[in-house]
Amino acid sequence: MLNVSIVLYHPNWEQNVQPLVKELQRAQCIHRISLIDNSEASSEKLFESLNFQNSPAVSYHFTGENLGYGRAHNIALRESISDNIDYHLVLNDDILLHSEDLDTIHAYMQQHPDVGCLMPRVFFPDGNEQFLAKLLPTPFDLFARRFLPEALTRKHNKRFELQHFDHSRSLNVPYLSGCFMFLRTRAAAEAGLFDERFFLYPEDIDLTRRIHRHNKTLYWPKVQIVHNHRRASYHSLRMTLVHMRNLCRYFNKWGWLFDRERRLYNHQAIRQIPGIDE
């Protein structure tokens, strides 16, 4: 069975949350859906007014403070572990998907016990590809593309995002986006769940690479979803500073210039792709 957690922060209930939850409830594999609200004010009365059907169960948890993305998801992940739920989906509220696709992924995970985390093919609402299966980043990958002109970073960014890869094929990569992480609960527990020192942004990189040590972290294009990516840090000075501070924490943890594991995992990923240079 599958549990789903969605972390909310000032959500649009009618446009995003309600239709997403109702679509999730149509999936045969889902056991429970947890809505974890990091907003300053509770939406419990609004949640109750939506009258979600009882099966599968939908729960609302108001944290009373902005715990951060990973720390909030860990609340629901720990429940999945304690209840012996086989799979847990970490999901953004800005995702569009079809319920039958979750059942398809669930069946695939049942048949492939070596996969610890799976992400499907992801598109923008306009149909353009989102390149969310990536190499482990160097400081240049993340800082340069944020602050340098695109003309100077385009070639390097294409390599980091594996844009030359045939995205109709599966690929075992060390970095999958946190917008949709279909986790084998056991693999996530063994890896240690999200590192709660990261308030936002690099927690998905950090968790994926730890799961990747002992399991496949798989980009799987047989299922396709739409992600209305907001890129908050590109539109807010405060979020840019949050982004930079947490990236510094990430590189302090794993290494700025010298990261032996990064070099190994990136080398293994690149070897799967014809025509891409080391």
DSSP 173-188: -SEE-TTEEEEEHHHH
Question: How does residue 10 score in pLDDT terms, banded at 50, 70 and 90?
Answer: very high
Is residue 278 over pLDDT 80?
no
| Per-residue pLDDT tens digits for 93-144 | 999 999 999 999 999 999 999 999 999 999 999 999 999 999 999 998 887 7
Structure tokens at 129: 């590809």
Q: What's the pLDDT at 230?
A: 66
Q: Is 224 in a helix, a strand, or coil?
A: strand
Domains identified in the chain and CATH numbers: 2-270 (3.90.550.60)
- The reported pTM is 0.94
Residue pair 78/4 in contact (Cβ under 8 Å)? The answer is no
Q: What's the pLDDT at 79?
A: 97
Q: What's the pLDDT at 233?
A: 47
Give me the count of residues in the chain. 278
User: Residues 7, 129, 111, 100: what is their CA dihedral angle, to the nearest 10 degrees?
Assistant: 70
| Per-residue pLDDT tens digits for 169-214 | 999 999 999 999 999 999 999 999 999 999 988 999 999 999 999 9
Is residue 38 over pLDDT 80?
yes
Mean pLDDT of the chain: 92
Is residue 78 over pLDDT 90?
yes
Task: Give start and end residues of each alpha helix (H) in the chain.
Answer: 18-24, 44-49, 69-82, 99-111, 139, 145-147, 150-160, 185-191, 203-212, 237-254, 260-270
Residue pair 32/75 in contact (Cβ under 8 Å)? The answer is no
What average pLDDT score do residues 7-16 get?
A: 92
Distance CA 5, CA 7 (A): 7
Looking at per-residue pLDDT, the higher value among 192 and 156 belongs to 192
Q: What's the pLDDT at 50?
A: 86
